[in-house]
Amino acid sequence: MKRHLVVVLAYDRLCTFEFGCAVELFALERPELGVDWYDFAVCAIEPGPICAAGGITVQAPYAPELLALADTIIIPGWRDADEAPPPQLLEWMRAAHLRGARLCSICSGVFVLAAAGLLDGQRATTHWRYAEKLARRYPSIEVQPDHLYVDNGRIITAAGSAAGLDMLLHVVRRDHGARVGNLVAQRLVVAPHREGGQAQFLPRPMAQGEQGRLSKLMDWLRSHPAQPHTVASMAARAAMSPRTLQRQFQQATGQGPIEWLIRERVAIVKDLLEVPDLPLARIAERAGFASEESLRHHFRRLAATTPGAYRRRFVREA
């Protein structure tokens, strides 16, 4: 079997940060992970040399013909949200989508997918600065401006800059499981998992004390998932009123505290499902779910699969 080929597009006025995120995630060999890692290539959509942000010149080794072989195509931020992508680029994206390739955009890269008509009737996100423009220009797209990334299966769109890294780590987790995703995140020295539905930015800055209390509470909850938690108990631990805690969580994550906690517990379940022979009842207990039925319900809701199917795909040998 050939390895999964990831191709990142390069073009004039390329965003070097988003391009670099794709390189860091997929271009490095990672034999220590014990999985078939990706093949990686950079494809220029126009003649070079390519002038990238920061005065860097990029010489891409591959021509657009390689796109016909790509399993995943990554579109960094498009050079100008008001500049129409070349018709030929749109044709390449349509052809890739038609044959089943996965397409991932970061920031204004979503305008390439939108112009190709591939997001009609679907959910999508982009940097919050571009969200209104995207919605106005393409009213058939369900724009979700507060999301870090939106996964529609074969099309994944991410907000700006660092959210692109979250999205690419999500791709790794989707392909190789939570254990491998966490190991890659450790090597990048970033948080292992940020849900796509989290807020892109805070509508107003939190006071220093509030921010510190919320951060400490989140760390404590991650370390004690099996304990029973309610909004009242969490608020008491953070020395906040329940109403203030609800507001702080919504502003910081785009979710209420209970939903945030459930998502953290599901992330723990993914890790534990990759341990062979660990009973589901024990996993539910360690992750903080009251029963196997509760675990199954929330896992299917958030992971779009069953615990058994997830385990069969990602379980590692003892």
295 in a structural domain:
yes
Q: What is the CATH number of the domain that holds 265?
A: 1.10.10.60
Average pLDDT over residues 115-123: 97
pLDDT on residue 204: 41
Cβ distance 180 to 29 under 8 Å? no
47 in a structural domain:
yes
152 in a structural domain:
yes
Over 60: is that where the pLDDT of 171 sits? yes
Last residue of a domain, one of 146, 164, 188: 188
pLDDT on residue 288: 95
Q: Are residues 224 and 97 in the same domain?
A: no
Q: What digits encode the pLDDT tens for the residues 23-64?
A: 999 999 999 998 999 999 999 998 878 888 888 888 888 999
Of the listed ranges 7-16, 63-72, 152-161, 199-208, the least confidently predicted one is 199-208
Q: Are residues 18 and 59 in the same domain?
A: yes
Confidence of residue 190 (pLDDT cuts 50, 70, 90): confident
Q: What digits encode the pLDDT tens for the residues 83-100?
A: 999 999 999 999 999 999
The domain containing residue 117 runs over which residues?
5-188
197 in a structural domain:
no
Q: Are residues 146 and 237 in the same domain?
A: no
58 in a structural domain:
yes
Over 90: is that where the pLDDT of 73 sits? yes
Q: What digits encode the pLDDT tens for the residues 124-169?
A: 999 999 999 999 999 999 999 888 899 999 999 999 878 899 999 9
pLDDT on residue 312: 87
In 3D, which of 212, 165, 209, 217 has the Cα closest to residue 191?
165
Q: Are residues 176 and 31 in the same domain?
A: yes
Q: What is the CATH number of the domain that holds 158?
A: 3.40.50.880
Q: Are residues 82 and 178 in the same domain?
A: yes
pTM of structure: 0.78
Over 80: is that where the pLDDT of 206 sits? no
Over 80: is that where the pLDDT of 316 sits? no
Average pLDDT over residues 216-241: 93
Q: Are residues 300 and 169 in the same domain?
A: no
Q: Are residues 243 and 179 in the same domain?
A: no
194 in a structural domain:
no
193 in a structural domain:
no
| CA 298 – CA 223 distance, rounded (Å) | 20
Q: Are residues 11 and 157 in the same domain?
A: yes
pLDDT on residue 318: 36
Of the listed ranges 120-124, 243-247, 249-253, the least confidently predicted one is 249-253
Enter the tokens of residue 201. 């930015």
Q: Are residues 76 and 210 in the same domain?
A: no
More confident position, 190 or 148: 148
Over 60: is that where the pLDDT of 265 sits? yes
pLDDT on residue 304: 83
Confidence of residue 205 (pLDDT cuts 50, 70, 90): very low
Number of domains making up the chain? 2
Of the listed ranges 89-98, 269-278, 290-299, the least confidently predicted one is 269-278
pLDDT on residue 253: 81
pLDDT on residue 192: 65
Confidence of residue 203 (pLDDT cuts 50, 70, 90): very low
Q: Are residues 152 and 259 in the same domain?
A: no
Q: Are strands 5-10 and 39-44 parallel, antiparallel or unpaired?
A: parallel
Strands (E), 11-99: 39-44, 50-52, 56-58, 72-75
Q: Are residues 16 and 99 in the same domain?
A: yes
Last residue of a domain, one of 147, 164, 188: 188
Average pLDDT over residues 101-119: 97
Last residue of a domain, one of 134, 156, 188: 188
Q: Are residues 69 and 110 in the same domain?
A: yes
Over 50: is that where the pLDDT of 17 sits? yes
Enter the tokens of residue 264. 């953290």
Q: What is the DSSP string of 57-116?
A: EE--SB-GGGGGG-SEEEE---S-TTSPPPHHHHHHHHHHHHTT-EEEEEGGGHHHHHHT
278 in a structural domain:
yes
Q: What is the mean pLDDT of the chain?
A: 89
pLDDT on residue 135: 96
Enter the tokens of residue 156. 């994944």
